[in-house]
Amino acid sequence: MRRMGCVVIAVLTLLSGCSSSSKKVTAANGTSSTATQHTLSTAGGTSGACGGLGAADPAGSVTYVENNKLYAVSTSGGTPTCLDADVGSGAPRWNGDGDKVILPDGRVDKGQGPQAVTTGNPLTLSWSYPHGTAVLQVDQSGKLSWVPSGGGAPLDITFLARHDAAIYHPAGTHIVSSGLSKDGTYGLFVATNRGQDVRMIVRSETANSIGQLAWTTNHQLLFVADHG
């Protein structure tokens, strides 16, 4: 028996005050979308020694991990530059100022090599806004913590029965999280950056999970809803 399902990428607009009405996230099997794929040329190999995070092109670059090293390549193509080594694998996340990066295992790299900040095995990680002075961590049990980016004791700011993913609002005063509320409702929720005044902004009636939260430059929230 073949199982059919779909993944929906949705866009939600939130104002800086984080006001929004509730919406349903629904999709039918067979839903499809078309995207244009662009090829980024990196002809010429990679540069030699790792030059630190400041070696990335300030005009715009794409970063990626290969063979335990963090590389950057200009958005116009060219030779990738090694920024740092011993970064593990997975997708790194840059803070808003672009001067430090958090790795999937919870280490923060400020250009002098990765340093452990979070503990345990994080499920998801994201930066505080606007300057990345802290890291939001969702652990394997669904608990949400606020951790200083320079290290220190985590602060439990859990406001759902289970968090799946969390991200700061660009204004820096609120947090949006997907997960299961204490009354059993699954969807997207917004709270203050200390987990207070919780409000639902998206109710999901059919999605198994919502994740991959990200903001556009005009404060629209992008997320992936898995209906598989």
**Domains of the chain, residue spans:** 1-32+157-228
Distance separating alpha carbons of residues 199 and 18, to the nearest angstrom: 10
Q: How do residues 70-120 score in pLDDT, each as one tens digit?
A: 888 888 888 898 888 888 777 788 888 778 888 878 888 777 777 788 777
Q: How do residues 133-172 score in pLDDT, each as one tens digit?
A: 899 999 999 999 999 988 888 999 999 999 999 999 988 9
Residue 130 has pLDDT above 90, yes or no: no
Q: In sequence order, what are the residues at sequence separation of 6 or more whose Cβ sits closer than 8 angstroms to the Cβ of residue 44?
A: 78, 79
Residue 35 has pLDDT above 70, yes or no: no
Residue 21: predicted pLDDT: 41
Q: How far apart are the first and last CA of the chain?
A: 14
Average pLDDT over residues 176-185: 94
Alpha-carbon radius of gyration of the chain: 19
β partners of residue 170: none
- For residue 98 the two structure tokens come to 């672009």
Residue 26: predicted pLDDT: 36
Q: Helix, strand, coil % (nearest 5) of the chain?
A: 0, 40, 55
Residue 86: predicted pLDDT: 80
Residue 5 has pLDDT above 80, yes or no: no
Distance separating alpha carbons of residues 222 and 58, to the nearest angstrom: 25
Q: Are 177 and 200 in contact (CB under 8 A)?
A: no
Q: 3-state DSSP call for residue 54?
A: helix
Q: 3-state DSSP call for residue 55?
A: helix
Distance separating alpha carbons of residues 137 and 111, to the nearest angstrom: 21
Distance separating alpha carbons of residues 26 and 5, to the nearest angstrom: 12
User: Please, what is the Cα angle at 216 between 66 and 130, to 5 degrees?
Assistant: 80
pTM (predicted TM-score): 0.71
Q: Are 138 and 176 in contact (CB under 8 A)?
A: no
